[in-house]
Structure 1
Amino acid sequence: MSSGSASDGGNAINIDTMSLDQLNQLKSQQESRLEQLTAQYHQLRAVSARLSTAKAAVADAFSNTSSSNNEGRQIMIPLTESLYAPGKIVDANKIVVELGAGFFVEKSSKDAIKVLERKSKIVDANSENVLAAAEASSKNVEAVKGAMQGKILEIQARQQGRAFRNKVEGGE
């Protein structure tokens, strides 16, 4: 970002020509955008952690022992993040995996891990994009703050100049 401009969703804005009120409004918008991006980033990191946990659980439960040892094994099935139901492995060679948008498919443990790895790569790429956007938004906030400080100093200098001129004109 160059001096005197801020980026607003791909559009460069010349902040040098803006009034203090306009700068304040722009700063509020950029801070709000930064908060949203930060929240999105944290959500994506949480999803990435859940995918890593799921991948490790599948690898641990189905890859370390023979499939005949796993059949009939008691497990806890996650219904939500905090609600689990008891279950039993019926076919140790098949796992039901969510592909997204409520679509589920039966896969082998190796294929299930591949699906989880693919989802994890997508989430990680998205989180990097959101992080880059958040960093750019943070720079925009700082640029607007700097422009606001410059405007405030300019206003104060004008006021001091007027006061001095009034004093000189009144004292002559």
Structure 2
Amino acid sequence: MATNTSKPQAPPQAIDLMTLPLQQLNQVKNQITQELQHLTTSFQQLKTAQAKFKDCITSIKNGLSREEGTPILVPLTPSLYVPGTLASPDTVLVDIGTGFYVEKKPDAAQEFYKNKVEELGRNLTDLEKIVQGKQGNLGAVEDVLRQKVIQDSSKAGEGDEGPG
């Protein structure tokens, strides 16, 4: 009979920032700053993806008002379009990711993109909470850094006050 030898991980313990030396505080500050930059970049990428999915919904709605054979511009890249004709207003090709396309009815395609927009909205909300927490951590580290620098400079000033 096999037993599970893995132990549940304990939650991270809080560290008293005042006990850390200046060099270590600077390292913590730099690490949090890098994490914030990464998270902010990820947040912007999710927002961009969400906007693209919203554009897809709009494109489907606008494309439905056209008849078969209507001249259209087909996007090959975000900035390159080629002329084409609308084959059928009854179906659309939906990019489901990694270069795969599926033919769907317009209502189903709109629902697919609507679900994507909602999912990204939830992810953005979660990521925003994480970013706010990291910003709070960064503020705390910066406060302690300032206090330590003031303490060190006042200690150095006290040492200079000998008889003279």
2:96: which partner in 1?
A: 99
* Percent of aligned pairs sharing the same letter: 27
Correspondence list, 1:23-172, <5 A: 23-62=25-64, 65=65, 70-164=67-161, 167=162, 170=163
Structure 1 unmatched ranges of 5 or more = 1-9
Displaced runs of 4+ in structure 1, greater than 4 A?
none
SS of the residue 1:86 aligns to:
strand
**Root-mean-square deviation (CA), in Å?**
1.7
Equivalent-residue separation in structure 2 for 1:13 and 1:51 (angstroms): 43
Amino acid of the structure 2 residue aligned with 1:82: S
After superposition, give the CA deviation of every residue in 1:108-129 in whole Å (9 maximum; x if it has no partner).
Answer: 0000100110111111112222
TM-score normalised per structure 2: 0.85
Amino acid of the structure 1 residue aligned with 2:118: K
Cα offset for 1:163? Answer: 2.5
Amino acid of the structure 2 residue aligned with 1:97: V
Equivalent-residue separation in structure 2 for 1:85 and 1:133 (angstroms): 42
User: Is 2:63–2:89's contact at 8 Å kept on the other side of the alignment?
Assistant: no
SS of the residue 1:105 aligns to:
strand
Q: Kindly tell me the number of residue pairs found equivalent between the two proteins.
A: 153
TM-score normalised per structure 1: 0.82
Cα offset for 1:29? Answer: 1.0
Pick 1 or 2: higher relative contact order, CA cutoff 8 A, min separation 6.
Answer: 1
Cα offset for 1:31? Answer: 0.9
Amino acid of the structure 2 residue aligned with 1:46: T
